[in-house]
Amino acid sequence: MSFVTYAQDWTESESKDVRKIRAQRVDRFLKREFPKARIALKYGTNIQLLAAVVLSAQCTDKKVNEVTEELFKKYKIASDFASANPEKFEKEIRPTGFYKNKAKNIIASCKIIQEKFGGKLPRTMEEILTLPGVARKTANVVLGNAYGVTEGIAVDTHMIRINQKLGFSEHSDPVKIEKDLMEIIPKKDWFGYTYRIIEYGRKVCPARHKKCNCEVYKIR
């Protein structure tokens, strides 16, 4: 039994082939609306990117950028983070929430990167998923932005909410939603689709819109 609320009832009965066509029409619309959609987190190095994405869990990108503006003046490469004093680092990232786990995972990840990967951010999904606290969403964001590597689709809260309403997935598990989207979105669009949906969620269809009549949900 599905507990997902679709914006349009007809999405429940469409075939996968029809859904695939509709998904591509939706994405064409999003490309026109948000042609420059990209990651909002600010960073200078690939390791800083990893840290910023970890910090963004349960925290706004705006708040993360406020914290990292000072943080990244001190921590730039893997060895900087790996040698950080845990208690001091916790205080430095505290405004992002869940700071104890985030500090532990960032420091531990950078130690592994330093020891096993020569200080360089891993380049594959298999390798990056060995880092503490890194799941598929983080891995997809980091690999895509650092190396242009696309092995999946990053699914955050905007992606969950809007793709459910679009009828592109009836699941709430990000991994299952990712699988559903990978079947209907062309691989060449996997990376950008996430950021276009995020922009739409932020600027047009925020979570507070309980009864939504947004244009994107009417596309057939």
CATH number assigned to the domain comprising residue 210: 1.10.1670.10
Residue after which a domain boundary falls, among 147, 176, 203: 147
Q: Are residues 51 and 124 in the same domain?
A: yes
Q: Are residues 113 and 77 in the same domain?
A: yes
Q: Is residue 67 part of a domain?
A: yes
Q: Is residue 60 part of a domain?
A: yes
Q: Are residues 124 and 160 in the same domain?
A: no
pTM: 0.92
Q: Are residues 158 and 136 in the same domain?
A: no
The count of structural domains within the chain is 2
Q: Is residue 2 part of a domain?
A: no
Per-residue H/E/C for the chain: CCCCCCCCHHHHHCCHHHHHHHHHHHHHHHHHHCCCCCCCCCCCCHHHHHHHHHHCCCCCHHHHHHHHHHHHHHCCCHHHHHCCCHHHHHHHHHHHCCHHHHHHHHHHHHHHHHHHCCCCCCCCHHHHCCCCCCCHHHHHHHHHHHHCCCCCCCCCHHHHHHHHHHCCCCCCCHHHHHHHHHHHCCHHHHHHHHHHHHHHHHHCCCCCCCCCCCHHHHCC
Range of the domain at 66: 46-147
Tens place of pLDDT for every residue, the chain, 220 residues? 344 555 566 667 789 899 999 999 999 999 999 999 999 999 999 999 999 999 999 999 999 999 999 999 999 999 999 999 999 999 999 999 999 999 999 999 999 999 999 999 999 999 999 999 999 999 999 999 999 999 999 999 999 999 999 999 999 999 999 999 999 999 999 999 999 999 999 999 988 866 677 889 889 8
